[in-house]
A and B are shown apart, each in its own frame.
Chain A
Amino acid sequence: QVQLVQSGAEVKKPGASVKVSCKASGYNFTTYFMHWVRQAPGQGLEWMGIINPRGGSTTYAQKFLGRVTMTRETSTSTVYMELTSLRSEDTAVYYCARYSSGNDYWGQGTLVTVSS
């Protein structure tokens, strides 16, 4: 069965960086693009970007340009999302989600807390 398993919760200080992983299993990793979506406490869903696991190409939302990097490691079927220069407004649950005409499988979410 398809599974996306994300890394655990993180607490970071303002200005630091965080790298969240998402390990895929149960399907051909390079066949489906992967989205990253975040959700601040009590707020809606915010699209961050997408990565093509086959070649590693990425597209990021304008808001995150210069601060976000999405990468993949095909040998372990894992995608990563790194966000730098963290501020309190980046406190959120971060999700990876497989794309197949809509996001049909989601990771469990990773809570990133930015606090001094």
Chain B
Amino acid sequence: DIQMTQSPSTLSASVGDRVTITCRASQSISGWLAWYQQKPGRAPNLLIYQASSLESGVPSRFSGSGSGTEFTLTISSLQPDDFATYYCQQYNTYPCSFGQGTKLEIK
């Protein structure tokens, strides 16, 4: 199985900050990676697919990059609505494993 490792596990930042979350795969997944945002009590929401494609309706301050085994999610200027937990998921190979999550907190 492919292991997905996110870092950091927790990130404290302020409104307006630029933040980056990293996701590493235990083996190459080409570009088959998605990023999700989840708020308490809600289902996850797709932000990025195929590593760098922005899902329709998602603000352009979100961007994704990477291929192979290393990927990043960047939020260019944090807004109050962005404080949530973020997950990466590989869908190159079954099982479609998730990272353990990164909780983005207000500093």
Please determine whether chains A and B interact with each other in the same assembly: yes
Q: Which residues of A contact B (CB under 8 A)?
A: 35, 37, 44-47, 49-50, 59, 61-62, 95, 97, 99-104, 106-109
User: What's the dominant secondary structure at chain B's contact region?
Assistant: loop
B-side contacts of A35, CB under 8 Å: 96
A-side contacts of B43, CB under 8 Å: 95, 97, 106-109
Question: Pick the contact of A44 from B1, B50, B87, B95 — CB < 8 Å?
Answer: B87
A44 to B88, CA, bound (A): 11
Whether the pair B98, A104 counts as a contact (CB closer than 8 A) is: no
Give the shortest distance, in Å, between A76 (CB) and chain B (any CB): 22
Give the shortest distance, in Å, between B61 (CB) and chain A (any CB): 19
The 3 tightest CB contacts between A and B, nearest first, are A102-B49, A102-B34, A106-B43
A-side contacts of B100, CB under 8 Å: 44
Residue of A nearest to B50 (CB): A101
A-side contacts of B97, CB under 8 Å: 47
